[in-house]
Amino acid sequence: MGERKKRERINWNTLKKLGHYLAAERWYLLAAVCLAVAGNLLALAGPMLSGYAVDAISPGPGRVDFERVFYYAKWMIVCYGAAFICSYSLAALMIHVSQRIVRRMRRDVFDHLMELPVGYFDTRTTGDVISRISYDIDTINGSLSHDAVQMMTTVITVVGALSMMVRISRQLVLVFAFTVPLSIFMTRQITRRTRPLFRVRSASLGELNGYAEEMVTGKETLAAYCREESTIRTFEEKNGEATKAGYRADYYGNIVGSCINFINNLSLTLISVFGALLYLGGFLTVGHISSFVLYSRKFSGPINEFANIIGELQSSLAAAERIFLLLDERAETADEALGVEVLDCRKGEVDFEQITFGYEPGRPVIRDLSLKAPSGALVAIVGPTGAGKTTLINLLMRFYDANQGRLLVDGRPVKSVSRASLRANFAMVLQDSWLFNGTVYENLAYGSKNATRADVKRAAQMAMADEFIEKLPQGYDTVLTEDGASLSKGQKQLLTIARAMLLDARILILDEATSNVDTETELQIQAAMRQLMQGKTCFVIAHRLSTIRNADTILVVDQGQIVEQGRHGELMEKKGFYYRLYQAQFQI
């Protein structure tokens, strides 16, 4: 019972949050309600006019008052024509409203994604995040543009048809005193069991999308390891689970419509029997019975249609729940409201003071770490996998905050300055190059708003990228697509290095930035970067120890602590941890 109440509270909160988006379009929605009321009232006049036309027919051959028949038929055409115009206008208006709402929702979701900490994306698959911003929002769009209209017309039609039936015969309306409660009971019982199935369907589709995105991204690797068959089998399993979840949700969702349709047909049968008895007693005319039957179809039809869209509504509710759960994720901790300042980094000094940090509570990755990187120093960070090298960079950029200790830049605690001003003083080149859909020039000038074309070309020359850029079809105006798929890994890395060189940053972070270029180009880039970084501080995460022999300081990290520190020659003479790492790489 507690779990059910919790779920009902979640559903109510989801509806309230969705209501905020609907409230922003209240004037459009008011116009939609007016159109729905007008259209349905006009449509409801049709059965009554039809009954009057039927009563113009008297028993016996040739006894028809055609003047009355044509009169009521004319007004039926007028009413149904006007109802059509209202219905068409309502559908067009709701499509417009739904597109406005989902546009705002996509914008809010994407804006919130930009505010979320890096740690959020470290624990979620890209496919699942994309599934929320695409599939889940599209599901809500379909529900708003179609199901919302259906719900409005259902309420108006049911109330209007019931009023007209009461006006014709209160005795016949008693038939619905049996069938309507039965319909409500069956709908509640079935939907209570199907609601969790739609949540499972949305979650399984998100998992399937995440796996597909991961495998497509890693196609080259899985092909190199001949894992196609295994990947296909795993995909089939996940696809089967998603299909099974979708089948169960849709199957049990459609049961509601079938059951309600059966009950509605049962009510029509009862109306036919009792209507005939009332006609024999002289309480009703044939026209009255005809109108009542038409109104009964209008009364039960929307209920049946509403039952059919119950599954779609539950699917939309599950999708909205996933979206609002994402929007409820805590954004990156805001800069301190008071006292936060802009960092004006002039020296580039970095100090770690007794830093302790862990991605999970109780499992520290770095323990009581202290180090000082003076201005203009080339600091290399080496160590085995999982030693905490990349974690140091995450702390430097404030992708994560230390659990204990202080991190200072130019003597100022990083928590006392805004993240934007802190990160503006860093340039990063990662091992995994990232290029977006745009020209080469746009990719290089990505982080430099005021860079001229001459600045971009100069940076590309220093990074040894100018030569191959000029050979591209349109040179610097060549459009890169699909993360620069037409370029080699080495060329993409050269572009990211040139992009970092273009930044006016006091501190540079390199995570094995030259791993995808040949040895000769690597030496040239190192020479160019040394010249470029005079007076700047550089942190280099190095896996190939031959690239850091000239580093001013080498920090040897193991199990989150600095176990050795010094220049290459000094550390080799000690024949300690660094010496063993170096020998392990170069022993034949």
The domain that holds 75 is classified in CATH as: 1.20.1560.10
CA separation for the pair 557, 564 (Å, rounded): 7
**322 lies in the same domain as 360:** no
The one-letter code for the residue type at 68 is R
Q: List the structure tokens of 162.
A: 């019931």
Burial class, 100, CB count within 10 angstroms (exposed 0-12 / middle 13-18 / buried 19+)? middle
Domain end point (choices 280, 295, 327): 327
Q: Is residue 518 included in any domain, yes or no?
A: yes
User: How many Cα atoms occupy the beta-carbon half-sphere of 337 within 13 Å?
Assistant: 0
262 with 255: CB under 8 angstroms? Answer: no
The one-letter code for the residue type at 256 is V
Domain count, the chain: 2
Q: Is residue 339 included in any domain, yes or no?
A: no
Domain end point (choices 327, 360, 380): 327
545 with 539: CB under 8 angstroms? Answer: no
**313 lies in the same domain as 418:** no
Strand bridging mode 378-382 / 553-558: parallel
Domain that holds residue 573: 350-586
The domain that holds 415 is classified in CATH as: 3.40.50.300
**369 lies in the same domain as 296:** no
Q: Is residue 336 included in any domain, yes or no?
A: no
pLDDT of residue 162: 78
pLDDT of residue 1: 45
pLDDT of residue 588: 42
The one-letter code for the residue type at 282 is G
Q: List the structure tokens of 584.
A: 């392990």
> How many Cβ atoms are within 10 Å of 222's Cβ, its own excluded?
16
**528 lies in the same domain as 466:** yes
130 contacts: CB under 8 Å, gap ≥ 6:
209, 213
**271 lies in the same domain as 358:** no
- Quick one: DSSP state of residue 565? E
- Quick one: DSSP state of residue 363? B
Position of tokens 């709402």? 101
**107 lies in the same domain as 226:** yes
Q: Is residue 397 included in any domain, yes or no?
A: yes
CA separation for the pair 54, 406 (Å, rounded): 89
Domain end point (choices 293, 327, 361): 327
The one-letter code for the residue type at 510 is L
**357 lies in the same domain as 320:** no
CA separation for the pair 471, 478 (Å, rounded): 10
**319 lies in the same domain as 356:** no
Q: Is residue 345 included in any domain, yes or no?
A: no
Q: Is residue 19 included in any domain, yes or no?
A: yes
> How many Cβ atoms are within 10 Å of 325's Cβ, its own excluded?
12
> How many Cβ atoms are within 10 Å of 232's Cβ, its own excluded?
12
Q: Is residue 338 included in any domain, yes or no?
A: no
Position of tokens 């991605």? 359
**290 lies in the same domain as 210:** yes
Buried/exposed 24-34: b ≥16 CB within 10 Å, e otherwise:
ebeebbeebee
**424 lies in the same domain as 549:** yes
Give bridge partners of residue 57 from the DSSP assignment: 64
pLDDT of residue 477: 84
**103 lies in the same domain as 205:** yes
Q: Is residue 7 included in any domain, yes or no?
A: no
**70 lies in the same domain as 122:** yes
Q: How far is CA 229 from the centre of its chain?
A: 30
Kindly list the averaged pLDDT for each block of 10 residues, start to end, along the chain of length 588: 52 78 83 84 78 68 70 83 86 84 86 80 74 79 72 76 78 75 72 71 74 69 67 81 78 69 73 73 74 75 64 74 83 59 75 82 78 81 73 82 85 81 79 75 79 83 81 83 69 80 79 65 64 73 72 78 81 83 68
Q: List the structure tokens of 362.
A: 């109780």
pLDDT of residue 338: 42
Buried/exposed 481-501: b ≥16 CB within 10 Å, e otherwise:
eeebeebeebbbbbbbbbbbb
- Residues making up the chain, counted from first to last: 588
